[in-house]
Structure 1
Amino acid sequence: MEINGLVGGLYRIAEWIMRLAYANLLWILFTIMGLVVLGGIPSTIGLFAVVRKWVMGETDIPIFKTYWKAFSNEFVKGNLLGYILLGIGYVIYVDFKYFQSQQGIIFIILSFLMIFLFLVYFLTLLYFFPVFVHFELRKFQYLKQPLFIMLLQPIGAILMALGTLAVYFLMSYIPGLIPFFAASLMAYVLMWIAYRVFLRVEKKVQSS
């Protein structure tokens, strides 16, 4: 029986609090189980797989089963692609620090170019996990598709960046929430925005 009114609203809020907290604790647990280095990326994939179902309206899914399936099935591929992306970011950072340490107008220009590339990289990175759990692609297309969508829908990427900042400031203001909601709330915000971007992109592709 559905509960309506104020009591129903409070009940649904409590349900969402429990869902987000449970998913966040799973993310922490599986990240630690993978010794962070191997667990962080597949744990995040598992978290986004759960959150994607919620965003699509499937709120009664078995959370642990959904999480574990994504974590275990994508463990190798997720780590491979994730560390390739991290490597790209590291190269951009090293190049920027090198150009910054040099003198001359050419190095100033190159430094600004690296800043621009890092901005593109960061906005593309925000789409990586939503794309990974939403689309069925060939392995290395998961590296190209986030860039393609970001360039096609840059406003969505900017909204995702603002959402990330909002969650960051919330957690900074109330640090006691971090163990229970930091990762899951961040994933929900990113996936909520990304899913709507995906729908718009798919509509454009179908109409072209």
Structure 2
Amino acid sequence: MFSRLGELFTDASLWIWKTIQLNLSWLLHIVMGGVVLGIFPATVSLFAITRKWLQGGRDEPFFSEYHHYYKKNFWKVNSLGWIYSSVGLFLWIDLYLVTQLKGIIALFSTVLILFILILYVFSFLYLFPYYVHFDQSFKRYLYQPFIITIISFKQNLILTIGLTMVGYLIYQMPGLIPFALGVMPAYWVMKVSMNRYKQLQVEMIGGES
């Protein structure tokens, strides 16, 4: 019994240490890119490592792989990330402008833009796991996350619940920020996304889930 408890404690300690290392790597690479150019490639690399962990590669060293993925995808991921960000900024500006108006048309426009914003947020979340899971053209990376959002209501709900719990935990324990701010939500989004990809592949070939 004590031997089993020791193994569990060792595994938990290793998992926590790996999580801290990965989160610090994420923060370091954001800074390396001057924040503005570092945030998207650092985050995609974070998702690439969490995907590897979910596939059973948790015990393998990851820093060199993380850094290689960061450099290899630096400009492509920045292009995708800032295109998405520009769309988001455009939607926020539209929302602000319509809320300054009055009348039924303004109300309808506000509801419509809010709905599009919700789809946009989920699409942005799906962009990162989709990018590291599939080798696609630049164009497909722009629109496929949006399609996945539309056909994945259940997964969207699961993502929302999980990320809300993670956000609440970090809010209550801000000391976690340097150690788990990126890893915890990325791991959850990657896990939900990979399960969804498996379901979609089964549905496409007509098998059973």
TM-score scaled by length of structure 1: 0.95
In the TM superposition, what is the alpha-carbon distance from 1:60 to its structure 2 partner? 2.5
Aligned to 1:65: 64
Aligned 1:82-101 pairs, distance under 5 A:
82-101=81-100
Q: Secondary structure of the equivalent of 1:140?
A: helix
Distance, in Å, in 1 between the alignment partners of 2:99 and 2:153 is 28
Aligned to 1:205: 204
Conserved 8 A contact 1:123-1:161: no
TM-score scaled by length of structure 2: 0.95
Aligned to 2:18: 19
Distance, in Å, in 2 between the alignment partners of 1:50 and 1:66 is 8
Distance, in Å, in 1 between the alignment partners of 2:147 and 2:3 is 43
Matched length: 206
In the TM superposition, what is the alpha-carbon distance from 1:186 to its structure 2 partner? 1.2
Q: Aligned pair in 2 of structure 1 residues 66, 4: CA closer, same or farther (>3 Å)?
A: farther
Aligned to 1:146: 145
Pairwise CA RMSD of aligned residues? 1.4
Unaligned runs of 5+ in 1: none
In the TM superposition, what is the alpha-carbon distance from 1:124 to its structure 2 partner? 1.4
Unaligned runs of 5+ in 2: none
Q: Structure 1 stretches (4+) deviating beyond 6 angstroms?
A: none
Identity across matched positions, percent: 31
Q: Secondary structure of the equivalent of 1:167?
A: helix
* Greater alpha carbon shift after TM alignment, 13-22 vs 143-152: 143-152
Q: Secondary structure of the equivalent of 2:56?
A: coil
Aligned to 2:121: 122
Distance, in Å, in 2 between the alignment partners of 1:205 and 1:24 is 36
Aligned to 1:184: 183
Distance, in Å, in 2 between the alignment partners of 1:147 and 1:101 is 28
In the TM superposition, what is the alpha-carbon distance from 1:148 to its structure 2 partner? 1.5
